[in-house]
Amino acid sequence: MSKTDQGQGLRGQSAGQTAICTVGAEGNSLRYRGYAVDELAEKTTFTEVAHLILKGHLPNAKELADYSQTLQALRALPESLKEVLERIPATAHPMDVLRTGCSYLGNIEPETDFSEQQHVADRLLAVFPSIIAYWYRYSHDGIRIETQTDDASIGGHYLHMLHGQAPSELFARVMDVSLILYAEHEFNASTFTARVCASTLSDMHSCVTGAIGSLRGPLHGGANEMAMAMLAEYDSVEAARADVMAKLEAKEKIMGFGHAVYRQRDPRNAIIKYWAGQLAEAVGDQTLYPVSETVEKILWDEKKLFANADFYHASAYHFMGIPTPLFTPIFVMSRVTGWCAHVMEQRANNRIIRPSADYTGPDSRAVPEIDQR
């Protein structure tokens, strides 16, 4: 590979070893610690997957009950954090809210020793839904919500806080599956950010805050939001077909398609597409889901571009009444499991991550006197 190729985002370069996840193995698979994501989405809950990613194995019945109880007990927000969230305006980017919430939590609940890392990871996993829901409901509705719900699942807990009532069984299950699909994805930009930070022996809150900052960028997170913004413009299949064809003719990028690693399909797409279809039927949708299918078919027929995990997440979240600006924070609520697991893995066999660069500036030169510049 040439030096020029190496400079293009390090794509195709190995940056280390991990036992947590494989992406793109056998062409199109995604596995968490050896388990295929489609089988996990069918047979387990997000709490089980979080246990797998963070602790290294799927829990038995007692371990699952204990872990669920642990996470439920960690949902409440400290009063000082509520005060901070209430000061953030409704116009703020929700990802900035999570970044601030995570950073502030590191001040009042610091990780003083690495032996606390599992507790810190559990706390962040449990509290992120509370942070974003509390801020949103206060800043948009003027309501101080209770964040200590008795919902069994993290996704159900989030929907309960957001809508003020316990979600349907279908909604809770779809949220659970969504969190499973987004939980981990090897050395993506945000995870690598977390590992670089961890390699300096920084604290967990700093590592996760940095990861949130990386995910905030539109080239990493936010594709489902942009896909929803596009889909919302179409009131019919015909309108969608005409506009998408025009966009392709103008060589405009269509969000939610293709992937940096997968070459033939994103294994998460078929799973969330199925559940988006179930939601469409449940809410009586006759436009958004058919429009989504039409756009997917056009991109494949015309460009051989496949839908990735973000595309049908757009309609799935919309059907569950989740405001579009809150789509990417759901990603954080899930991916914090992978981030924290990678921080732990980096710490377990650490060497500071400090790559070199190919210099492209001026040749060596002398500093001229000030009157000669």
Residues classed as catalytic: 220, 259, 310
User: What are the backbone dihedrals phi and psi of residue 109, each rounded to the nearest 5 degrees, phi first?
Assistant: -135, 60
Q: CB of 135 within 8 A of CB of 252?
A: no
Nearest C-alpha neighbor of 329 from the set 187, 204, 241, 225: 225
Nearest C-alpha neighbor of 188 from the set 370, 23, 373, 360: 23
Q: CB of 33 within 8 A of CB of 52?
A: yes
